[in-house]
Structure 1
Amino acid sequence: MDPTAENQNLSLVEATPEQARILYNSENFKVWILISTKDANDTSNTNESVILSACETFKHKALITLSSGQVQETTCYSIASVFTPPQYRHKGYASTLMKLLSDKLRFEFKATFSFLYSDIGTDFYGRFGWKAYSLTEVRFKVDDNLTTLLENPEMVITIDLSNLDSVIQQDYELIKKEFSKLNKKSLVVLPINPIYNWYFERSKHSSKSNEHPKTLGVKILKEQDINNQELSEGFVIWHHDFQYNKLEILRFRSDSPQTTQLLIQRAKQEASIFKFKQVTLWNPDLRLIDLSKEGEVVEMTTKLPSLAWYVDDDNVDWVLNEKYAWC
C-alpha cells in the first residue's frame, strides 16, 4: 500500500544548499523540504532523504496599520515554487507541507502575514488560511514598429542603476506618509531594492543577448504640460520578460491621467525596442486610464494573490498589490 501523509511522521526542514541546488543563499531566501521524521533526525544522511514536497520562502519588510491607526514596520514572507514530485502527488504531502510551513512562519518566525500567488484557484491554499484577493491586469498592445513620438520628452527622466536607489527611497518615504493616513486595517509589502534586483537578475538570465536592458523605468518631472495643467510627479519601474515577450510594470505611481498616459507611452516604446508585444500593469486605478483608447482589462484567474493574516481573524486591506511583490 502506498504511504500517505496521514500515516507517516513527517518533518519540515530547511534544505541544504546541495538539496536546493541554488547558486546562492541568504537569510532572506530559504528552500523548505518535507521529509520523514526519521530522515530529519538522522542529520548525517540528510542529503539522501526522500523529498516528498518542497517550496521556497522570501523574507520581506512590510508596514501594517491596525484598527488603532498605529503604523508598524514588520516582517512577512512570500511563498513560491510549491512542488510535489509526480510519484508522491495525491497523498496529502503538499497539504502537510503548507500546514507545517504556516505554523513555522507564524509561531517560530513571528511573521505578521505571509502571501503567495496561486495558479490552482482558491480552494487548496484557502483551506490553510491563505485568502485570495482579486487581481486586475491591464494589457496594452505594442505595435511592431512603434514610431509615435513621446509627448513632452523633456519631462521624462530615465531610471537606471545611477538613480534607482533615490527613486526607491523617495517612493518609500511617500508610502510611509500615505500609509499613516489610512483609517482601516491595512498592510503593504515594501518595494525596496532586493525585490527589484531579483527581477533584474531574472531578466539578465532569460535574455538571449549579451546586451542586458539598462533602462529600468522612467520618472516624470513635476512641470506644466501642454495644456498648462500641472503634471504630478510619477514613475514606473519595469521588468523585461523575455520568456513571455512582454514588459511588466512592477511598480506604478501616478495620480493623474496625464502622468499615466506619458508613463504608459514610454513603457510601450521600451517594449517596442525589444520587439515585445505587450505591456502589463497590475491593479491600477482604472480612473487614470482611458480604456476607450487603449488597454484591455482582464480579471485574472491565475497568479491570484493569496494572503494569510496572523494578527487576528479580521479582514485586512492589501495596499499596493502590484507585480513587484510577485515571486
Structure 2
Amino acid sequence: MKFQGMAGSSLGQVLARRDNPEGLDFLCSCETFKREGLAIKSWLTSTEIVTGYGIASVFTPSHNRKKGYAAHMMRLLHWVLAPRSALPDTFPVELWGEMPSRDLWRAAGLKAIPEGHGEDATFSTLWSDIGNSFYTNCGPIPSEQGCVVRDPISTDWRVESLFSLLNSRPNGIESTSWVWLDEKDACEIWKLDAEKMKDEMEALARDTDTKNDDTALFTFLPYKGVAEFQVDRLRHFWGKVKPLPNCWGVYRQASNESRLDPSTFATWTLDVRPGQANDLIITRLRARPEDFAPLMKEVVGHAKRHGVEKIEVWGLAKELRDIIGGRTWVRDEHLSSFKWYGREENVKWCFNENAPRVPSADFA
C-alpha cells in the first residue's frame, strides 16, 4: 500500500491498493499539515525548533467503511511522518505487509511523498470527532499507542450575559490602551508571541521536573500561517457578515509605546456558518488575572457588534477560569490528541489552544 499526494506544507495522503497503487479507487485518505513547533526534551531546559504534523480530514469512501482501512492508514502514517530512529526496531510485516518506503515506490516508478514532508516529525496531532479510543489504538506497532487524547477543555460565555457583566464593572484599564489587530497585524503579533511562548516553556521547564529521561514539553507555534489558517478557512462565511469583520485580535498597548506587544492580547476567528449559532473562537490568548476581564470586555464588545452569540476558548489557564464566570467543560468532539515520537513518557502539550487546529476526522 502506498501514500501519494501533492508537494507542499500540506499534503493529501492516500491509502492505495497494492495491485493498483495509482488508481482512483482509493481505500481511504487524509491530509497532513507540516508545521513548526517547539520542544524541550529530557535533560534539557531550553527549547529547540522541531517539526510537528497536524493530521486532518480522515476520510473513507462509504463502500470501503467498516473494513479497517482508516485504522490501517493511521498505523502506517506514523512510519511516514516520524524519523526511522524514533520508531520501533521492527515493522510488523507479518500483520501489515510491506513497510511504507519512498525508495521502493520510486524504484517501482510510482509517485512518492515529496522530500521534506515526513520522516522528520517530533510529534503529530489530530482533533478527533469519533471518540477517544480509535486513534489511540492506531500505533506504529500493535503494542504501542497512537494519538492519545490530552486535555480537550473548553470555556465559553454567552455574549449578552458577558457583555452585561463586564460593562457593569469598572474598566480597570482605559479603553484607549487597547489596539485592534487587522489580519496583517495579527500575523505580526503571532511572530512576537512565538518568542514569548519559547520563554514561557523554558520557565515551565525550570519549575517542573524536566531533568529526567521521562519528561518532555512541546507545542506548535502560531506564526507562518498556522493561526492565520483559522481565519482564512472560514472566510467564505464571515465574508458575508454585515458589518464586514476587519479586526482579528486586540492587544494592550503599553504607555508611550507604539510597537506591537503580545504581553496581553487575544486573537480569534469567526464561525458563522449557516444552521448554527454564531461563535467567536479565541485562537490565542495571554493575560495576567488582573488584565483578563478588561481584555475580555474588548473581545465581547467586538463579538456583540458582529452578531456573535457565543465566545469560546480552548485550554484557558486555570487561574483565569473563575474571573468572569462562564462554563468550562471537557469536550466530546474535536478531541485534541497527539503522538510523541520519543522515548519520554511524561509529555506535556503546552498552549493546547485552537490556533493549530486542523479540520477534524469526520468519516473514519
TM-score range, shorter chain: 0.7 to 0.9
Q: Which residue identity does 1:80 align to in structure 2? A: A
* 3-state SS in 2 of match to 1:236: strand
Give the structure 2 partner of residue 56 of structure 1.
Answer: 31
Does residue 179 of the first structure (1) align with residue 201 of the second (2)? yes
1:166 to 188, 191, 205: 188
Q: Report the Cα offset of residue 145 of structure 1.
A: 11
Quote the Cα distance in structure 1 between the aligned partners of 2:75 and 2:184. 43
Quote the Cα distance in structure 2 between the aligned partners of 1:326 and 1:162. 20
* Compared CA separation, residues 124 and 114, structure 1 to 2 (3 A): same
* 3-state SS in 2 of match to 1:192: coil
Quote the Cα distance in structure 2 between the aligned partners of 1:170 and 1:260. 20
1:285 to 314, 317, 320: 317
Contact 1:204 1:212 in 2 (8 A): no
Does residue 77 of the first structure (1) align with residue 108 of the second (2)? no
Give the structure 2 partner of residue 66 of structure 1.
Answer: 41
1:111-122 aligned at under 5 Å gives the runs 111-122=121-132
Quote the Cα distance in structure 2 between the aligned partners of 1:313 and 1:196. 28
> Given the two structures, how large is their TM-score scaled by the length of structure 2?
0.75
Contact 2:42 2:344 in 1 (8 A): no
* 3-state SS in 2 of match to 1:193: coil
Structure 1 unaligned runs (5+)?
A: 1-10, 17-25, 41-45, 224-231
* Compared CA separation, residues 235 and 94, structure 1 to 2 (3 A): same
Q: Report the Cα offset of residue 313 of structure 1.
A: 4.8
Does residue 141 of the first structure (1) align with residue 158 of the second (2)? yes
Quote the Cα distance in structure 1 between the aligned partners of 2:254 and 2:33. 36
Q: Report the Cα offset of residue 289 of structure 1.
A: 3.7
Q: Report the Cα offset of residue 113 of structure 1.
A: 0.7
Q: Which runs of 4+ in 1 moved over 6 A?
A: none
1:94 to 62, 70, 76: 70
1:4-19 aligned at under 5 Å gives the runs 11-15=1-5
Give the structure 1 partner of residue 148 of structure 2.
Answer: 131
Contact 2:38 2:221 in 1 (8 A): yes
* Compared CA separation, residues 161 and 120, structure 1 to 2 (3 A): closer
- Larger relative contact order (Cα-Cα within 8 Å, sequence gap ≥ 6): 2
Q: Which residue identity does 1:132 align to in structure 2? A: V
Identity %: 26
* Compared CA separation, residues 286 and 242, structure 1 to 2 (3 A): same
Q: How many residues align?
A: 292
Q: Report the Cα offset of residue 162 of structure 1.
A: 4.5
Give the structure 2 partner of residue 253 of structure 1.
Answer: 286
Give the structure 1 partner of residue 12 of structure 2.
Answer: 31
CA RMSD, Structure 1 to Structure 2 (Å): 2.2
Contact 1:145 1:272 in 2 (8 A): no
Contact 1:12 1:100 in 2 (8 A): no
* Compared CA separation, residues 174 and 208, structure 1 to 2 (3 A): closer
* 3-state SS in 2 of match to 1:324: coil
Give the structure 2 partner of residue 104 of structure 1.
Answer: 80
The worse-fitting range, judged by mean Cα deviation, of 76-85 and 144-153 is 144-153
The worse-fitting range, judged by mean Cα deviation, of 177-186 and 126-135 is 177-186
Does residue 207 of the first structure (1) align with residue 197 of the second (2)? no
Q: Which residue identity does 1:56 align to in structure 2? A: E
* 3-state SS in 1 of match to 2:16: strand
